[in-house]
Homo-oligomer: A and B are copies of this chain.
Amino acid sequence: MTRILGVDPGLTRCGVGVIDLAAGRRVTLVSVDVYRSAPTDDLAFRVGSIGARIETLIQELKPDAIALERVFADVNVRSVMGTAQISGVVLMLAHKYGLPVALHTPTEVKAAVTGSGRADKAQVGNMVARILGLAEVPKPADAADSLAIAICHAWRGAGASVGTGQSLTAAQAAWQQAERAAARKREG
């Protein structure tokens, strides 16, 4: 049995879903929540309080791996900064607790859960509820999304996508490549 924490990172709403993966790709719900912070609050308080709640969740539910939605900078240049900041906090916590962490793109998550990389929010929510045997679709969308990320991670093969850099998803490889190119540019 593998316990996976899925995170839909965000500063205003951060979805956190925990599932257990058993033999035969069977997944069950452990917990789901959305951590919020007010846009009127101090930025450090917003990042810090969400980070503290994620850390408590890790300590209490002891996941074996973390799956994080990979955010693209070109979607919404403004709101992506807060999302990347929360991602940084999750990456730091993964390192601190020695947990493997994998990044999955929104397209990978939708495809894994619904069979189509272009599924809409409602389809994703409905499939998450069906897969986990829930009577209702988890609300808000960030909650359902965090579970979809965890399910995606479970089904794409924890052995393949969880790793320490040896086994990268296409998105991770592209990310590393971009990072290396940026590094070369700065060095040169």
Contact = CB atoms under 8 A, between A and B. Distances in A.
A134 interface: no
Q: How many copies does the complex hold?
A: 2
A49 B95 contact: yes
A169 to B, nearest CB: 11
A47 interface: yes
Nearest to A50: B92
Given A92-B92, A163-B42, A165-B42, A179 B78 contact: yes
A87 to B, nearest CB: 6
Interface residues of A, number: 52
A44 B94 CA distance: 7
Q: Tell me if A's interface is mostly helix, strand, loop or mixed.
A: helix
Contacts of A77: 73-74, 77
Contacts of A88: 47, 51, 84-89
Interface of A: 11-13, 39-45, 47-49, 51-52, 71, 73-74, 76-82, 84-89, 91-92, 94-96, 100-101, 103, 163-165, 172, 175-176, 178-183, 186
